[in-house]
Amino acid sequence: MYSSITNHLKHYINPTERDLQLFQSCLNSISVDKGKFLLLPGTQVKHEYFVLKGCLKAYYQDEKGHRHIIQFAIENWWIGDFDAFYNGVPSRLHIETIEPSKLLSINYDSLQELFKTAPIFERYFRLLTTNAFISQRKRILSSLEKNTMERYVEFCESYPTIEDRIPNYDIANYLGVSAESLSRVRSKLKR
Amino acid sequence: MYSSITNHLKHYINPTERDLQLFQSCLNSISVDKGKFLLLPGTQVKHEYFVLKGCLKAYYQDEKGHRHIIQFAIENWWIGDFDAFYNGVPSRLHIETIEPSKLLSINYDSLQELFKTAPIFERYFRLLTTNAFISQRKRILSSLEKNTMERYVEFCESYPTIEDRIPNYDIANYLGVSAESLSRVRSKLKR
């Protein structure tokens, strides 16, 4: 159960056996059916999630009911509402499973305790957060100038293997382009 | 020279005298006149900057020559091109001083060495990066639904004391609204 998270850790840090045990003791395993909500807006958020298997989306629903997809997560990605998790404010996001998913959850209090007993995890989460910040900024810059094809290609690089697992309209929503325009680009690329 | 950075550190972590000395030994002080560039696109980035005094903007210039302001920095803020700094790719941003500025710069190699000799700074930069990620996401969510007034009020909360130091058109650019619409909102709020 812990092999993929352990590999993920080892990609960023060099944990001891004790570090790994302390980390694993903070985790809980959960299984969620397709189309279920892991998080709803306006709730307290006590967990972040690491994807062992499956696919999820995080989105914001505005006052007019329009959904804006903020993040997808597939195997070996973390997903959560950072602001709500770290600052204790009510969540603003929906997190919904696109496929049946197996996840590891980490609880906020356990994580804070872990930072004290095994400070090497400060580094792991610093590196992850730095990457997340950079990806988010890249997405903002892409939305300023790249065309649909460039944005779709960039998306496939960020989320390899995902393009056949997510409905076309969800990818289009995430990229901020029309579903029709994305369909045309995907057909062209398949030729 | 180090009092404001030391206070900033102590807001996030509890450094020892040794930690502080190691940190200070990584810093260099620089002064930059108004309207000068600290960073240009396409260059290697070896430094990030902490603002002791002054005001700066980071922006992206698209192929049509339009500027998109990504970040302002005033006293006690860090500014840099994260992707270029951490991943060694060429920078994509301009960083320009809006006022004469006094800065502390930290070099990439010194910072990596610091993480080894004083790992408490992993925590400091993790917390800073988490906050930066959350602010960036909030800005994305605000752009999806808030009106000009709400976005301007949020901006004044994020960057207190800044509204009289930055030209109206730069704030409008950052908020993604027209300069005319922002002027109307600012006049209303002053009444």
Q: A-B interface: how many C-beta pairs under 8 angstroms?
A: 79
Residue type, B97: T
Quick one: pLDDT at residue B144? 81
Residue B176: pLDDT above 90?
no
In tens, the pLDDT along B16-70 reads 999 999 999 999 999 999 999 999 999 999 999 999 999 999 999 998 899 999 9
Q: Which member of B62, B86, B133 has the closest CB to residue A132?
A: B133
Q: Convert the pLDDT of each residue in A64-73 to its tens digit.
A: 899 999 999 9
Rounded Cα–Cα distance for residues B117 and A144 (Å)? 40
Domain boundaries A3-119, corresponding CATH code: 2.60.120.10
Q: Which helix (H) or strand (E) holds A102?
A: strand A101-107
User: Sign of dihedral through CA atoms A150, A190, A178, B142?
Assistant: negative
Question: Is residue A88 less than 8 Å (CB to CB) from chain B?
Answer: no
| Residues of chain B contacting A120 with CB distance shorter than 8 Å | 119
Task: Give the pLDDT of residue B158.
Answer: 85
Specify the 3-state DSSP secondary structure of A132: helix
Which pLDDT value is given to residue B94?
97
Weakest-pLDDT range from A102-106, B97-101, B162-166: B162-166
Rounded CA separation B127/B10 (Å):
12
Q: Which residues of B touch A145 (CB under 8 A)?
A: 62-63
Put simply, the answer to whether A140 touches B70 (Cβ < 8 Å) is yes
**A68 neighbourhood in chain B, CB within 8 Å:** 141, 144
* Cβ within 8 Å, pair A140-B87: no
* pLDDT grade for A184, boundaries at 50, 70 and 90: very high
| A164 close to A172: Cβ distance less than 8 angstroms | no
Q: What is the 3-state secondary structure (H, E, C) of chain B?
A: CCHHHHHHHHHHCCCCHHHHHHHHCCEEEEEECCCCEEECCCCCCCEEEEEEECCEEEEEECCCCCEEEEEEECCCCEECCHHHHHHCCCCCCEEEECCCEEEEEEEHHHHHHHHHHCCHHHHHHHHHHHHHHHHHHHHHHHHHHCCHHHHHHHHHHHCCCCCCCCCHHHHHHHHCCCHHHHHHHHHHHHC
Q: Is A89 on the interface with B (CB under 8 A)?
A: no
Of A68, A83, A122, the CB nearest to B134: A83
Sorted by sequence, the CB contacts under 8 Å of residue B74 that are 6+ apart come out as B51, B54, B55, B159, B161, B162, B165
| Domain regions of chain A by residue span | 3-119
- A136–B136 C-beta distance less than 8 A: yes
Strand order in the sheet with A67-73: A37-39, A94-97, A56-61, A67-73
Residue B146 pLDDT exceeds 90: no
pLDDT tens by residue, A80-116: 999 999 999 999 999 999 999 999 999 999 999 999 9
Confidence band of A191 (pLDDT split at 50, 70, 90): confident
- Which chain A residues are Cβ-neighbours of B86 within 8 angstroms? 130, 134
CB contact under 8 Å between A141 and B92, yes or no, is yes
> CA of B62, closest CA in chain A: separation in Å?
6
How does residue B139 score in pLDDT terms, banded at 50, 70 and 90?
confident
Q: What residues contact A29, with CB distance under 8 A and at least 6 apart?
A: A1, A52, A102, A103, A104, A105
Residues on chain B touching A89 (C-beta within 8 angstroms): none
How many Cα atoms within 13 Å fall on the side-chain side of residue B186?
17
Residues A37-54, mean pLDDT to the nearest whole number: 97
Tell me the percentage of chain B whose pLDDT exceeds 70: 100
- Residue B21: partners with Cβ closer than 8 Å, 6 or more residues away: none
| Residue A130 pLDDT greater than 90, yes or no | yes
Beta-carbon separation of A138 and B82 below 8 A: no
Sort A4 into a burial class: Cβ within 10 Å, 0-12 / 13-18 / 19+.
middle
Instruction: Identify the CA nearest to B116 among candidates B26, B11, B52.
Output: B26
Across the interface, which of A70, A86, A133 has its CB nearest the CB of B132? A133
* Inter-chain residue contact A130 with B86, CB threshold 8 Å: yes
Which pLDDT score, from 0 to 100, does residue B118 have? Answer: 97
Question: pLDDT band at A162, cuts 50/70/90?
Answer: confident
Q: Is the pLDDT of residue A1 over 90?
A: no
Rounded CA-CA distance B115/B68 in Å is: 33
CB-based contact (8 Å) between B63 and chain A? yes
ipTM of the complex model: 0.93
Instruction: Write out residues 127-166 of A within 8 Å (CB-CB) of B.
Output: 129-130, 132-134, 136-138, 140-141, 144-145
Residue A176 has pLDDT above 90, yes or no: no
pLDDT of residue B140: 87
Across the interface, of B60, B132, B138, the residue whose CB is closest to A83 is: B138
Contact A129 B134 (CB under 8 A): no
Of A82, A92, A134, the CB nearest to B82: A134
When pLDDT is cut at 50, 70 and 90, the band that residue B159 belongs to is: confident
pLDDT-based confidence at B162, cuts 50/70/90? confident
Q: At what angle do helices B17-24 and B3-12 cross, to 10 degrees?
A: 130
Q: Looking at residue A23, what is its pLDDT?
A: 97
Range in A70-79, A146-155, B13-22 the model is least confident about: A146-155
User: Whole-angstrom Cα distance, residue A26 to residue A9?
Assistant: 14
